[in-house]
Structures are given as structure tokens and as C-alpha cells.
Amino acid sequence: MLMDPQNLPQRVRDVRNRIERAAASGERSVDCITLLAVSKAQPPELMRAAAALGVRDFGESYLQEALEKMAALREVELTWHFVGRLQANKTRPIAESFAWVHGVDRLKIAERLAAQRPYYAPPLNLCLQVNVAGETAKAGVAPADLPALAAAVAALPRVRLRGLMCIPPEEADAARQRAWFARLRQLLQSLNNSGARLDTLSMGMSADFEAAILEGATIVRVGSALFGPRPANTPPHTGGGRAPPATGTIGAA
């Protein structure tokens, strides 16, 4: 069941208040933290309402669904992030239509995104997904392999390596949550100490983004706290296709 749109303003306020409290606790500026609304399976009308409340960054996991939403919301200036699984045979529409891609963990994927990024578009922002806990069920580059991958991706044309992303194990304890996020922050610092210029930590979701902010998150990916649980009867959208030309799909970053 979809969330009642009348509840959205309060949910947005609640999430922003949580972000502000965490930022204050960590002595950080809230202006350095982007709220990325993970909107998979949510209708364009609800996203339009969120945009009217100041939410302008949206994360999508299912390509065909995302392209349809871009067409429906073409008149709204939004920044689109792809946060789903990356498949080599579907990189072209992602390269053509999104401003950010989170979850790159293979050079092959990054090379395809770079080759397929339109020449007229600004560089595609990339975050490398790191498997900070070495979980076999999760994607992500191993920390030991990260420096080589980061160096190779940073050298590609038409993409810009911005930072790192992780999905750590679910932890109820805030200290354990922070430990995983601290690991990603340390990896980014290590890369920068070696000459990289990374400025983005994409980490933290609805249940743990406060801990992520305390460890330096610059993008928090929030879905259920904003929109409620994802509708259970919504089938996954994994098809390809190209987005029609639209303002706001690749211009802002």
C-alpha cells in the first residue's frame, strides 16, 4: 500500500531534523550532506510532491522504471542517481540519463559508462562500492583491490570518480554501525593521501544514516523513512531502454 501523500511533509521534516541533529553532534555543516531520496517503486506524483518540499536528488534501482519517471517528471529540475545493480548490457541508458552512478565495483562497468557517456553531457559522477565487511552475498570491491580500481577509473574520460559507497552489515548497535562507516572513511582518506581527490562518501540508509553522518557521510540514501515501506506487490523493473531527451536528467550534479 502506498503512503498517504499527506504524510510526506512530516516525513521530510523528520528526516531533515535527524540529519541536522546528527550533523550538529558531529560538528559538521548540514550543507555538506545531500539527502538522496531512494524512490524505487514510488509513483512520480509522490516524487513531484517531495521535489516541491525541496528534495531534488532521487535514487533509482530499476532502469526501466527510472526512465519512465524521468519522462513523467521532465519539467522538474532533478538530479538522478542510479543506485541499483549494474549490468554490462544496460550501461548505455544509464550513462546517457543519470548524473550519478553509485555501486561501480568493476573496471569493465566503468569503462562502458565512460565510453557511452554523451560528449555533450558533463562528466558522469561515479562512486566505487566497497565491500567493507567481505560479505559474499554483497557486491563491492575488496578493500585490498580498491587502490588499483580507483586509479584505473580516475584515468577514464567522461566520468569523474567522486568517492566511495558501501552497504555495511545491518547492526542495531550505533557503535558497530559507526565502525563500518569509519572503515569506508579511512579508505577514502588513504586514497586521498596517495594523490586522489575524492570528496564523496555515499553511506547510510534509513536505519543508520545518523551513524554514517558522524563518520563523514556526504550523501545519505533514504527510502523508507521518507516514503514508507516499498509496496510489496510491485514487481521489479529491470528492463533496458533509452530515456527521451529531458531537462534535469544529466545537467545537475
- In tens digits, the chain (253 residues) has pLDDT values of 677 888 999 999 999 999 999 999 999 999 999 999 999 999 999 999 999 999 999 999 999 999 999 999 999 999 999 999 999 999 999 999 999 999 999 999 999 999 999 999 999 999 999 999 988 889 999 999 999 999 999 999 999 999 999 999 998 888 999 999 999 999 999 999 999 999 999 999 999 999 999 999 999 999 999 999 876 654 433 333 334 333 343 333 3
The half-sphere exposure of 183 on its side-chain side, counting CA atoms within 13 A, is: 20
Show the domains of the chain with their CATH numbers.
5-227 (3.20.20.10)
Model's pTM, two decimal places?
Answer: 0.90
Beta bridge partners of 80: 58
pLDDT of the residue at 1: 63
Residues 250, 44: Cα–Cα separation, whole Å: 18
Question: In the block, which residue shows the cell 555533450?
Answer: 120
pLDDT of the residue at 242: 39
pLDDT of the residue at 231: 67
